[in-house]
């Protein structure tokens, strides 16, 4: 697998505080990587390091295969766009003028692509309206538009849905998904609420107290949270035969127990098994919600 970013045993210490504690993180190319952790877990610190706003205390990372200590790391950073904490926008300027300003800052020779960026972030009809009159969602999208100047293929967004209303969250989700699918941009997006990312992230990294607790794909997370019926029987070979006949999806865990991923008519199943002389010892619904999985993994309340 190709990775845009890999960190190895990354540490960032402040006086009396280990903001990052041996963090290992791997962002696959083409992914939407949901970076999840409570407030104070270390998300912004990691983002600040990879953007070059701060130096790690120890450990290293590679960006597009280039080490952070490489003197050409700036070349890798030029392929990144980021919105860290609040978007840096000029409130007295229109969306278009804000973008033009960024073109100038990057020293780009023309405003080529500017209209496309305005369309991408849904601000093409804002005309002469100044950013100070924008909604929070529009400001966030303008921040992303500014980060898109220079055509990055890796976008880093620190809590982009923080404070947005439900409609704003939906628009942000659609924008990020579009950028990922249509423009092939890899996205790192942080949040402290898993549910907000669960509808579009393809990979996850769960961080707690500066440590990576787990990295997993969306499929693995769905599998871990999937509802099922856990059954204990005298013979799972017979169980498999009966479930195949009923065209139900299942997973045999041992000679005595299995998980069935479907709505099962319990009495029909028990009768069918009895016909083959297979006893049922127990049946139990299992599975977790995303939030309870997250709370169990990280330990503690989700929104602290
Ligand atoms: P939030 O969601 O609140 O932004 P976060 O996961 O982004 O949280 P960080 O901002 O990275 O967390 O902070 C991680 C830890 O490092 C916190 O305990 C924070 O207080 C501490 N910290 C961050 N910046 C500094 C600093 N400049 N000086 C001292 N401590 C800091």
- Please indicate, yes or no, whether residues 75 and 47 belong to a single structural domain of this protein: yes
Whether 139 is in the pocket of ligand 1, judged by its Cβ within 6 Å, is no
Q: 159, 185, 216 — which closes off a domain?
A: 216
Residue 12 pLDDT greater than 70, yes or no: yes
Going from the C-alpha of 170 to that of each of 140, 161, 200, the distances in angstroms are 13, 9, 11
Residue 70 lies in a domain: yes
- Please indicate, yes or no, whether residues 162 and 230 belong to a single structural domain of this protein: no
Confidence of residue 205 (pLDDT cuts 50, 70, 90): very high
When the pLDDT of each residue in the chain is averaged and rounded to a whole number, the result is 91
pLDDT at position 20: 96
Whether 37 is in the pocket of ligand 1, judged by its Cβ within 6 Å, is yes
The structure's pTM equals 0.82
Q: 186, 216, 246 — which closes off a domain?
A: 216
- Reduced to 3 states (helix: H, G, I; strand: E, B; else coil), residue 67 is strand
Residue 295 lies in a domain: no
281 Cα: distance to centroid of ligand 1 (angstroms): 51
Residue among 17, 49, 54 whose CB has most ligand 1 atoms within 8 A, to mutate = 17
Interval 25-82: pLDDT, tens: 999 999 999 999 998 999 999 999 999 999 999 999 999 999 999 999 999 999 999 9
Residue 149 pLDDT greater than 60, yes or no: yes
DSSP 137-206: HHHHHHHHHHHHTT--SEEEESSTTTT--HHHHHHHHHHHHHHHHHS--EEEEEES-HHHHHTT-SEEEE
Residue 280 lies in a domain: yes
64 Cα: distance to centroid of ligand 1 (angstroms): 26
User: Which numbered atom of ligand 1 lies nearest the CA of 20?
Assistant: 14
- Please indicate, yes or no, whether residues 162 and 269 belong to a single structural domain of this protein: no
Residue 292 lies in a domain: no
Residue 300 lies in a domain: no
- Please indicate, yes or no, whether residues 141 and 265 belong to a single structural domain of this protein: no
Confidence of residue 224 (pLDDT cuts 50, 70, 90): confident
Interval 280-303: pLDDT, tens: 999 988 877 777 788 888 875 444
Instruction: Measure the CA–CA gap between 268 and 191, rounded to whole angstroms.
Output: 45
pLDDT at position 179: 94
Instruction: Measure the CA–CA gap between 27 and 204, rounded to whole angstroms.
Output: 9
106 Cα: distance to centroid of ligand 1 (angstroms): 29
- Please indicate, yes or no, whether residues 143 and 183 belong to a single structural domain of this protein: yes
Shortest-distance Cα residue to atom 30 of ligand 1? 14
pLDDT at position 304: 39
Interval 76-113: pLDDT, tens: 999 999 998 777 899 999 999 999 999 999 999 999 99
Average pLDDT rounded to a whole number, residues 186-208:
91
pLDDT at position 243: 95
Whether 292 is in the pocket of ligand 1, judged by its Cβ within 6 Å, is no
- Please indicate, yes or no, whether residues 64 and 183 belong to a single structural domain of this protein: yes
pLDDT at position 217: 94
- Please indicate, yes or no, whether residues 84 and 147 belong to a single structural domain of this protein: yes
Average pLDDT rounded to a whole number, residues 208-227:
90
Provide the domain count of the chain. 2
Which CATH number characterizes residue 260's domain?
3.30.70.1560
- Please indicate, yes or no, whether residues 199 and 81 belong to a single structural domain of this protein: yes
Place of tokens 């990576």: 212
pLDDT at position 301: 41
- Please indicate, yes or no, whether residues 166 and 268 belong to a single structural domain of this protein: no
Q: 216, 234, 257 — which closes off a domain?
A: 216
Residue 297 lies in a domain: no
- Please indicate, yes or no, whether residues 185 and 248 belong to a single structural domain of this protein: no
For residues 103 and 114, the answer to whether their CB atoms sit within 8 Å is: yes
Whether 192 is in the pocket of ligand 1, judged by its Cβ within 6 Å, is yes
The residue segments making up the domain with residue 250 are: 226-286
Which CATH number characterizes residue 141's domain?
3.40.50.300
Residue 302 lies in a domain: no
Residue among 36, 43, 213 whose CB has most ligand 1 atoms within 8 A, to mutate = 43
Residue 93 lies in a domain: yes
Least confident range of 66-70, 84-88, 127-131, 145-149: 84-88
35 Cα: distance to centroid of ligand 1 (angstroms): 15
- Please indicate, yes or no, whether residues 101 and 185 belong to a single structural domain of this protein: yes
- Please indicate, yes or no, whether residues 71 and 146 belong to a single structural domain of this protein: yes
pLDDT at position 72: 93
């Amino acid at each position: 697998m190709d990775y845009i970013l890999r960190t190895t045993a990354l540490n960032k210490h402040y006086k009396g505080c280990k903001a990052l504690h041996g963090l290992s993180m791997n962002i696959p190319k083409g992914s939407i990587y949901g970076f999840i952790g409570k407030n104070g877990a270390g998300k912004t610190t990691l983002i600040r390091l990879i953007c070059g706003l701060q130096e790690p205390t120890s450990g290293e990372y590679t960006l597009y295969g280039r080490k952070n200590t490489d003197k050409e790391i700036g070349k890798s950073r030029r392929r990144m766009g980021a919105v860290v904490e609040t978007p840096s926008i000029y409130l007295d300027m229109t969306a278009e003028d804000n973008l033009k300003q960024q073109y100038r800052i990057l020293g780009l020779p023309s405003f080529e692509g500017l209209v496309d960026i305005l369309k991408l972030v849904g601000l093409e009809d804002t005309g002469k309206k100044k950013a100070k009159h924008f909604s929070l969602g529009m400001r966030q999208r303008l921040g992303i538009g500014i980060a898109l100047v220079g055509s990055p293929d890796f976008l880093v967004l620190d809590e982009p849905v923080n404070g947005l209303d439900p409609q704003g969250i939906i628009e942000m989700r659609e924008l990020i998904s579009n950028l990922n699918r249509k423009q092939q941009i890899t996205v790192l997006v942080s949040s402290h609420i898993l549910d907000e990312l669960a509808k579009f992230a393809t990979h996850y990294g769960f961080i707690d107290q500066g440590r990576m607790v787990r990295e997993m794909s969306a499929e693995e997370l769905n599998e871990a949270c999937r509802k099922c019926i856990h059954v204990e029987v005298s013979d799972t070979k017979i169980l498999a035969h009966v479930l195949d006949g009923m065209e139900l999806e299942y997973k045999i865990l041992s000679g005595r127990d299995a998980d069935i991923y479907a709505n099962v008519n319990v009495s029909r199943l028990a009768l069918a098994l009895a016909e083959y002389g297979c006893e049922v010892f127990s049946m139990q619904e299992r599975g977790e919600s995303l939030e309870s999985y997250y709370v169990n993994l990280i330990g503690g309340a989700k929104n602290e």
